[in-house]
Amino acid sequence: MDLYQLFKTRTPIIGVVHLLPLPTSPRWGGNLKAVIQRAEQEAAALASGGVDGIIVENFFDAPFTKNQVDPAVVSAMTVVVQRIKNLVTLPIGLNVLRNDGKSAMAIAYATQAQFIRVNVLTGVMATDQGLIEGEAHQLLRYRRELGCDVKILADVLVKHARPLGSPNLTVAVKDTIERGLADGVILSGWATGSPPNQEDLELARGAANGTPVFIGSGANWENIATLMQAANGVIVSSSLKRHGRIEQPIDPTRVSQFVEAAHSHWHPNVNIQSISGAVKIHS
C-alpha cells in the first residue's frame, strides 16, 4: 500500500467522524438531517485543521451488532459519506462497527471512498458483542467481485477484545498481512482513548515488513511525536474533540494543535503548508 499515493504524505493523520446514532440503533433520535449536519461540520473541522484523511464510523450506535448491520445503517452511512465527499477533497474511509467489513466495502464502492477499517479480519476475538470471527476470505473475494481497489486497514488484537488462541503480536501481525491480505495494520491500546505502547508498535512494524502500521487509539499532541517514531500513520479522534471528551464535537483548534505537533516532529525544518485547499468553497 502506497501511503503517498493515497494520502499525499508518507505519514498520514486520519481524523474520525463519529456519527450520531443512526436509524435502528438504540439511541436513534429520528432526525437524519441532524446526523448529516453534524457529520459535515466535523468533516469540515478536520479538513480545515489539516488532517490527511477522514474515516467515518457509526460510533454512537452502541451496543453494536457483532457482524452485519441493518440495511438502514448502510443507507444512512452511504448518504453521509456522499455529503462529506461533496464538502472536502480528502481521502475518505469507512468503519462499520462492530465488524461489518462487507457493508463498509459496499459503501466505499458506491461512494468511491478509498479505504475501510476492519476490527477483526483474521482470527477470533472475545468481545462485548460475543465471539467475533474474522472473515478475510469473504471480504477479499467481495472486493474482487466489485472490481474495486478499496484499501483494507485491519486492526491487530483490536481494543475492547481478547484473542482466543495465541495473543502473540508478531504472529498476529504476520497472519493479518500474509494470510488476511490486509493493506495496512492498526495497533490500539486496550480501549478507546488509550495508546498502544512503544514496544508493541516497534514489534508490529518489524513484523509488518514494509506494510504500513497505524496507531489506532490514544494519540494526542503530547505523545504523537514519540508514538510516530515506530508507526507510519495515525487514526485520531478523542483528543481532537472539545475538552478531549468523546461525546463532544470536533474542535478545529485541537485539530490544528495535533497536526502541528505531529508535523513539527516529522518535518522540523519545513513550514506547514497551507491547508485551506482541503475544504471546497461553494459560492
Mean local confidence (pLDDT), 54-67: 96
pLDDT band for position 266 (cuts 50, 70, 90): low
Sheet containing 130-133: give its strands across. Answer: 130-133, 124-127, 161-163
Give me the long-range contacts of 249-254 (CB less than 8 A, separation at least 24).
249/38, 249/41, 249/42, 249/45, 250/15, 250/17, 250/41, 250/42, 250/45, 250/46, 250/49, 251/45, 252/45, 252/48, 252/49, 253/49, 254/49
C-alpha cell read off for 97? 462497527
| Overall size of the chain counted in residues | 283
- Residue in the structure block whose three cell numbers are 493515497: 6
Statement: residue 158 has pLDDT above 60: yes
Based on C-alpha coordinates, what's the Rg of the chain?
Answer: 17
d(C-alpha 235, C-alpha 218), whole Å: 9
Predicted confidence (pLDDT) per residue in 6-34, tens digit: 999 999 999 999 999 999 999 999 999 99
What CA–CA distance (Å, rounded) separates 266 from 16? 21
pTM tops 0.85, yes or no = yes
The yes-or-no verdict on residue 275 having pLDDT over 80 is no
Q: Contact 116/58 with Cβ under 8 angstroms?
A: no
Domain extent listing, the chain: 3-264
CATH level 3 topology of 3-264: TIM Barrel (3.20.20)
Q: Residue 175 is which amino acid?
A: D
CA dihedral (119, 186, 176, 136) in degrees, to 10, reads 30
The confidence band for 270, taking pLDDT boundaries of 50, 70 and 90, is very low
